[in-house]
Structures are given as C-alpha cells and as structure tokens.
Structure 1
Amino acid sequence: MPEEPEAPQPQVRMLDARSLRGLAHPLRIRMLATLRHDGPATASQLAERLGESSGSTSYHLRQLAAHGFVEDAPGHGKGRERWWQAAHDGTAFDEKLIYDEDPATRGAADLFLHEIATIHTQELSTWLGNAHSWSQEWRRGSDISDFTLHLTAAQSLELIRELHDVINRYRDLPPAEGTKSVRVHTHAFPRTSE
C-alpha cells in the first residue's frame, strides 16, 4: 500500500529581534493579516479596508517589505499600480523575545502579542455580530469553547503541537462547493491557581 504524501506545511517566518521591531506596529500587523487572509492588494485597497490613508498604508507596506514580510504580487495591476502580497503564510513568535535584554525588543514583543489578541477578539466579535446572517449549517460548523486542563508545561506544549498538526491537515484540502475561509484561534496559557 503506497504511503500517503504528507500535507505541505505552511511557510512560516520565525521572528527575531530585528524583524519583530519591523513588524510591531498595529497597522503593519493588521495589513499583513489582511494580505494573508484576503490575498494581494494595493496600498489604496488596504487603506479603504482598514480605514487609513493610502499614504500611511504605502509607507507601512514599504517598511514591511524592507523586513521581508511582503513582496510584489506578480500578475496583478497595470502601469504604476503596485500590488503587494504576504511573503509567508504565517509568523512564529520566539518566546525568548519576551526576555530579551533590549527593552525595545521586549516592548515590541508585548505590542505584537497584544495586537494579535486584539485581532482575535475583533474577529470573534464580528462573527457574533453577524452570525444571524449565516445558515444554520454554518452556525453548527462554528465553535466558541473553552477548556480548563491540568497539565505540565511539557504536556501543554505537546497538546499545542498536536492541535497544530490537526489544523495543518485541513489547510490544503481541495476546494469544494460551499467552502469559506474559516478562522481557527487557539490559545493555551496557564492560570494562577486561586
């Protein structure tokens, strides 16, 4: 019996201190997320989607490009119109950045993590505000759950890796009728015992 080929892994950019400082701006983080979720766009299109000026989005796109987060999108646009796309499927955060000796790096790490949490909250709130307009089938296909487990740090890491493996198996399924972009958030963190 032939072995099934492994699902391709997403191309993920590991943040280091320099790239983190280049990304750690709320608008840059939101622009990169928009390019990853919605595909290539111009500075003007991003400005309209995010409620910003095109001068601001243009500047921040150049900063993202300088740090390797975005690149030209081939096959889009005509003439002077410049289209951008995300250079990677995702971003990985190195926990060592929280403990970096440089206060600017620690501050950038804090801003980055809080902005990601804010984006997750906004996405969930948007879903809840619009859920009534989706079919019952999609309502059943959505989830807002939380669990409290008693784990060691090693067990928590094992759980996170297993969850990521399951999610990645669904990443590149062939297109099917009724397919929609589905956001999956995972959060795993220890609580202080009371």
Structure 2
Amino acid sequence: MGKSERYLARIDGRLLRALSHPLRVRILELLREDGPATASGLGKRLGESSGTTSWHLRQLAEYGLVTEDSERGNRRDRWWKAVHDGDQLQGQDFIRDPDLAGPFSTYAHTMVEQRYAAEAQFVAEMREWSDEWIDKVSFHDSPLSLTPDEAAALSDEILEVIKRYHRPVEEGDTSVRVHWAAFPRKSRPETP
C-alpha cells in the first residue's frame, strides 16, 4: 500500500458506525501514534480489560481500520496495527441522515475531547520538554470573517501543508500532534 493510500481513511457511514464508540477511537489513536500493540498492552494503558480491548480490536479489524501485525507476536500474543495514519470526514455526509446523525455526533464529540486531552496533557508536561521544543510550540486561535468558500479554501491549503510534512518516521523525530479545525461561530455581541 502506497503512502497516499495509507495516509487517510475516508469515513463513510459504515466506518462511522465502527468509530461511534469512544474506546475504539482511543484504541485507533494509540495505534496510530505509538505503533503496534497487543490487546493486553492497550488494556493496561486505557484502564480496560484485555478482553474488552480485544473485542474492540476485532471490530476495528472487521471494518478494515486495524490489522494484525504479522511481523510481531504469535498465536497467543497477537499484535495489532493501524491501517491508516488518520481519518478524513465531511460532516455534510452524515448530519442530515437520521440514522447517522447520532454516530456522527458521538464520533465528533470524542474527537474534540481527545484533542482537548492531548493539549491539556502537553501543558501539564510542558516543563519536561527541552527549550528547543518549548521555543517551537505553537497554539494559535484566530477569529476570521470568511465566506463558506473561503473557509473551505483555507482548510484545503492548511491540509496540503500538513500533507507535505507527512513522511515516514526518521531517527531524531519526535511525535508531534497537529490539530486543524475551521468552523463557523454564531456571533453574540452585547446589546445595550
């Protein structure tokens, strides 16, 4: 499988149902960020039984999101790895479908919670990082006035930049989390 084929899983209704369980999303995130793992190892990290994580891994495998890592383990000690590096999802594909609105909401809320948790953990551990990294960390939040087409163009440009930096892990690399979101906000100005 080539880099572009492996890079993103396009989330459709079938995959959305698989990812509408927060534990599955967390398992998939750990496999993508930290590499292959066993059900028991994931269970310890997530505070779950190996039976629970094993069941969810089999569900993710059934949907083609994870696969057994044939280079590791044996029949007794199965290792799993993510098939894709990330997900691509368009809310418009789901929000108006009454059968998918619930799974979409669960998935979207799980992703927002995980983004918050990742940033909060970094802030809590900030003193443990070298000055070299601390000087390069960026948190950015900008309110902009845009049309829907401009917001889409901005997102496309940002995602192209992110794609340019996507490459296999090299010696000396550090795992970096990049979040991108562009969404409208209802204005609530103070009135006299």
TM norm structure 1: 0.90
Count of equivalent residues: 184
| Match of residue 34 from structure 2 | 38
Aligned residue type for 1:78: N
Matching of residue 164 in structure 1 with residue 159 in structure 2: yes
Distance in 1 (alpha carbons) for counterparts of 2:108 and 2:66: 20
Unaligned runs of 5+ in 2: none
Hey, what does 2:180 align to over in structure 1? 186
Taking the aligned partners of 1:101 and 1:131, their CA distance within structure 2 comes to: 43
CA distance in 1 between counterparts of 2:135 and 2:181 reads 21
Spell out, residue by residue over 1:25-67, the C-alpha distance to the aligned partner (whole angstroms, 9 max, x if none).
Answer: 0100000000001111110011111111101001111111111
Is 1:106 equivalent to 2:101 in the alignment?
Answer: yes
TM-score w.r.t. structure 2 length?
0.91
- Give 1:78 shift: 2.9
Alpha-carbon shift at residue 165 of structure 1 (Å): 0.8
Within 5 Å, give how 1:44-193 maps onto structure 2: 44-95=40-91, 96-102=93-99, 105-172=100-167, 175-177=170-172, 179-193=173-187
Segments ≥4 residues shifted beyond 3 Å: none
Q: Which residue number in structure 1 is paired with residue 14 of structure 2? A: 18
Decide whether aligned partners of structure 1 residues 173 and 74 sit closer, same or farther in structure 2, where only a CA change above 3 A counts.
closer
Q: CA 1:169/1:32 → structure 2, altered by over 3 Å: closer, same or farther?
A: same
Q: Matched residue of 2:26: which SS?
A: helix
SS of 1:188's partner is: coil
Deviations 1:49-107 (A, max 9, x none): 111110100111111111111111121113421111111111111322111132xx110
- 1:19, 1:166 → 2: CA distance? 26
Identity, % of aligned pairs? 41
